Amino acid sequence: MEIYELLKGKNIKNEQEVKVVARVRSNRPGKAVGFLVINDGTSLLDLQVVYKSNLDNFNDISQVRVSSIIEVIGKILLTPDKEQKLEIQAEDIVILDEASQDYPLQKKEHSLEFLREISHLRSRTKTFQSIFKIRSVAAYAIHRFFQEENYVYVTTPIITENDAEGAGESFIVTTLKNDEYEKDFFGKKACLTVSGQLNGEAYAQAFKKIYTFGPTFRAENSNTSKHAAEFWMIEPEIAFEDLNFNIALIEKMIKFIINEVFNKCSDELEFCDKNLEKGLINKLKHISNSNFERITYTDAIEVLKKAVDNGQNFEEKNIFFGLDLGTEHERFLCEKHFEKPTFITNYPKEIKAFYMKQNSDGKTVAATDLLVPGIGELVGGSQREDNYEKLVARCEELKIDVKGLSWYNELRNFGYYKSSGFGLGFERLIMYITGASNIRDVIPFPRTPRNLLF
Amino acid sequence: MEIYELLKGKNIKNEQEVKVVARVRSNRPGKAVGFLVINDGTSLLDLQVVYKSNLDNFNDISQVRVSSIIEVIGKILLTPDKEQKLEIQAEDIVILDEASQDYPLQKKEHSLEFLREISHLRSRTKTFQSIFKIRSVAAYAIHRFFQEENYVYVTTPIITENDAEGAGESFIVTTLKNDEYEKDFFGKKACLTVSGQLNGEAYAQAFKKIYTFGPTFRAENSNTSKHAAEFWMIEPEIAFEDLNFNIALIEKMIKFIINEVFNKCSDELEFCDKNLEKGLINKLKHISNSNFERITYTDAIEVLKKAVDNGQNFEEKNIFFGLDLGTEHERFLCEKHFEKPTFITNYPKEIKAFYMKQNSDGKTVAATDLLVPGIGELVGGSQREDNYEKLVARCEELKIDVKGLSWYNELRNFGYYKSSGFGLGFERLIMYITGASNIRDVIPFPRTPRNLLF
């Protein structure tokens, strides 16, 4: 029986006979009676096993080491008044495999930095069991959200020749030891994708509503707690719909994901609240119950100017139309001014990507960022430019290779009426939901500059 | 309203007023009345719109080109006796965007080869609407299957330094134009993953039941209908369980996926049955209703020997223990001999990977391949070697870099009792379910040698 079934099952009875295979988390032997805490990975919660000297192999059990695998046969003792609702009175314990005494995760506390060096083992700790279970449940919630709304999941290519944002630093994919790409596998220079959006847009023209969910890459030499060379993105795209639809969709999706995590990961959230971010659960409940705010970029600039006038101490105090908002400005807006998640809309075109729809004011584009308390920007989206000439002109202004993007731009000539979408960085979402403060701790095997292990 | 809701909705009434935005598939104008066939991508089925000369812009509508986007306001006319169960009597039609006359998908039939050259547009054809909708539904079915059984979804790394099978030809990931990898982004040689299994195994030790679902890569210079440089794999791994558990899981999963596709894609399957593979639906029903067969490799060799004696005309007629079965042998076993999906178990260790558990006979490993009629091998799995010394010895025999894999091998020292898993090539499954005969036609933007477009 799995420990998950034991602890969550509804028909578990006192004195019921059970058999469990699990890993030893701790062993507290005594003269006549000992206590094993075991976990089989199916539940964050452990199971306590009481073993007594009547067992033939009592002495062996008393010495069994942390991380060994054992099989326990015994009777359930319901203990509704204790923190653990039941324990097992062992009748037979078989040591299936004894762990080496070099096992690095002995009972003492370990730093997150140390645990990163043993990424192949850290998922056995409660911290990472919580984070990676939540990651899994959130990933499924995203698929469920879109599939139940009849979106088509499109796997966009990882190896690509185009650079969606025109700014990303791409990894080169090659089979050679030099740069004679015309002799290379693909006969040309190939890169790892920085975004699936452009390919996704082509599919939205076919299916109306699509989403991508896959890995993306940046060869950015940034050793910060927020940057990784490899991370996952969700990029939905909806044809025939505008920025307002997009904004409503983002809000609905974020709430859906958080509610799914609440429903399926209450133990894990409690653990994260206690150990990673105090107040996490209240923060998430607040998000889930808020009506997200909306403000234009132009109005947000006015709010920030007033705040500076009123003595708000930003590092960047020079607030003007055209400023690329910093995290401090974003957090001020959603944390202090509105005290809830906030959509900023209609950014100056100069600070946004080439494919965003130019508004009739000639200055702004139909873009939105969702800012959330505690983190700042969580989602970025836009309505796409639908006018072929404007799009090509903008590419040329920004010195983007029009030829490589001709297939993308020409979508506008073959029947095109509005298209909107957004990008959600999956790891940023998981950091937000778990309270983890370093992106390296929400990716099973993180890749950062000069760090490629496992 | 979306066409999907219109055609599948239960409360659609005669004379009901509706508004639809969609793409024109065809236009058949007449003197007093014309017919538009439109599709908005939410349904494989089209909607017919009848427009009459009482419309102000009747002449413009009569000339509207294929792929233009229009908005139709009109009344529903239920036509239960016709193939299409309803049509729209237009009261107003707005041409939202007129498509160029250069649009390559005019009404005539196109070859799959031609359509591959316009991968950004081919998803608008019924063939690719069917294939990619089924792909999306099957992907979600896989997530659903594992999540409902409490498996944890693990995203294993794409950029890696190890080569799981020891045989794959890997792509190099670099930021340089030469091979001075110590100066490179990761400070060492980096590759694109050929399998997430090894990383997944580490996580099964933490969560018991995990699965991966992500892209994998082979720099194999094969221009066949079955090989792509980039494809998606599903790799579940279960700790504390043996090969028998694995076999039962594979059968249950395959049936679940097929049933989900039947439930959600009946129109698409019918289209594929008519246009891609006659008899497809019967084939899939047969799979879903069969009890899969099991036979050991050793017994399978005897069956094949007898078949040769009885005149079976294999290209490779030299059948012996140690032979790496060809597709012809695999298909004979599941199509002619058993007439149902068949698990072959316990292969000679020489033809299988280093990490498979060596059986006590000293000759075979606890591996299985699932063979299915019409294709041969669909899934490959095994129980993993649990003995550290045997595993390392096998690595050394096969000249596999033991140092790079030390983290993987040492899992066996830290409490390890059985672990089993399998790999399912997602595109091979989609080819099987849709009847598509070329892998390029089941990947949105396929990557093959000297082919990197979009």
What are A88-144's pLDDT values in tens digits? 999 999 999 999 999 999 877 899 999 999 999 999 999 999 999 999 999 999 999
- Options 3.30.930.10, 3.30.70.260, 3.30.360.10, 3.90.1150.10; CATH for B122-441 is 3.30.930.10
Tens digit of each residue's pLDDT (9 = 90 or more) over B148-179: 999 999 999 999 987 655 555 889 999 988 88
Whether B8 has a pLDDT exceeding 90, the answer reads: no
Contacts of A2 in chain B (CB under 8 A): 150, 208
Contact partners, residue A414, CB within 8 Å, separation at least 6: A205, B67, B99, B100, B103, B121
Average pLDDT over residues A150-178: 84
- Asked if the C-beta of A135 comes within 8 angstroms of chain B's C-beta atoms, the answer is yes
Q: Residues A248, B204: contact at Cβ < 8 Å?
A: no
**Residue carrying structure tokens 């547009």:** B121
User: Which residues touch A190 (CB under 8 Å, ≥6 apart)?
Assistant: A159, A160, A161, A172, A173, A174, A181, A184, B452
Closest residue to A185, CB basis, from B179, B229, B414:
B229
Size of interface A-B (CB pairs under 8 A): 302
**Mean pLDDT value of segment A232-253:** 98
Sheet strand arrangement including A190-192: A159-160, A190-192, A172-174, B172-174, B190-192, B159-160
**Mean pLDDT, range B394-412, rounded to an integer:** 92
Structure tokens at B354: 């280093």
Domain locations along chain A: 3-97, 122-441
Nearest chain A residue to B133 by CA distance is A152
Q: What integer is the mean pLDDT of A410-417?
A: 97
Among B95, B34, B39, B88, which residue's Cα sits nearest to residue B64?
B95
* pLDDT of A165: 54
Instruction: Tell me the C-alpha distance between A139 and A132, whole Å.
Output: 10
Asked if the model's pLDDT at residue A167 lies above 80, the reply is no
pLDDT of residue A84: 85
Partners of A174 in the β-ladder: B172
User: Considering only alpha carbons, which residue of chain A is nearest residue B220?
Assistant: A185
Of A173, A240, A452, nearest to B171 by CB-CB distance is: A173
What's the confidence (pLDDT) of residue A10?
Answer: 82
Percent of chain B, pLDDT > 90?
A: 90
Half-sphere exposure at residue B167, Cβ-oriented, CA atoms within 13 angstroms: 7
Task: Enumerate the residues of chain A whose CB falls inside 8 A of the CB of residue B230.
Answer: 157-159
Encode pLDDT of B189-245 as tens digits: 999 999 999 999 999 999 999 999 999 999 999 899 999 999 999 999 999 999 999
Rounded-to-integer distance, Cα A392 and Cα A405, Å: 9
All residues of chain A having their beta carbon less than 8 Å from the beta carbon of residue B174 are 171-172, 174
* HEC profile of B264-298: HCHHHHHHHHHHCCCCHHHHHHHHHHCCCEEEEHH
- What is the arithmetic mean of pLDDT over A401-430? 95
Report the alpha-carbon distance of residue B45 to residue B3 in Å, rounded.
8
- pLDDT of res. B168: 57
Instruction: Classify residue A448 by its DSSP letter.
Output: B
What average pLDDT does this structure show over A206-224? 95
Which of A:356-395 have CB within 8 Å of B? 386
pLDDT tens profile B334-393? 999 999 999 999 999 999 999 999 999 999 999 999 999 888 899 999 999 999 999 999
Place A83 in a pLDDT band, splitting at 50, 70 and 90: confident
Q: Give residue B166's pLDDT.
A: 52
Rounded to an integer, the average pLDDT of A49-61 is 97
Kindly report which listed range (A48-57, A76-85, B203-212) carries the lowest average pLDDT score: A76-85
CA distances from B94 to A29, A426, B69 (A): 80, 39, 9
Q: Residue written as tokens 């700014």?
A: A167
Q: How confident is the model at residue B418 (pLDDT cuts 50, 70, 90)?
A: very high
The whole-angstrom distance between B240's CA and the closest CA on chain A is 7
Region A3-97: CATH code: 2.40.50.140
Q: How confident is the model at residue A375 (pLDDT cuts 50, 70, 90)?
A: confident
Beta carbons of A171 and B187 less than 8 Å apart: no
Q: What is the ipTM of this complex?
A: 0.96
User: Does the pLDDT value for residue B426 go beyond 60?
Assistant: yes
Question: What average pLDDT does chain A have?
Answer: 95
A-chain residues within 8 Å CB-CB of B187?
450, 452
pLDDT, mean of residues A24-50: 97
Q: Is A230's CB within 8 Å of B157's CB?
A: yes
CB contact under 8 A, B447 and A159: yes
The answer for residues whose C-beta is within 8 angstroms of residue B104's C-beta and 6 or more apart is B118, B121
CA distance A281 to chain B (A): 22
**CB atoms B175 and A172 under 8 Å:** yes
What is the pLDDT of chain B when averaged over all its residues?
95
Q: Which chain A residues contact residue B172 at CB under 8 A?
A: 173-176
Instruction: Give the three-state DSSP class for A452.
Output: coil
Measured between CA atoms, how close is A126 to chain B, in angstroms? 10
pLDDT recorded at residue A166: 52
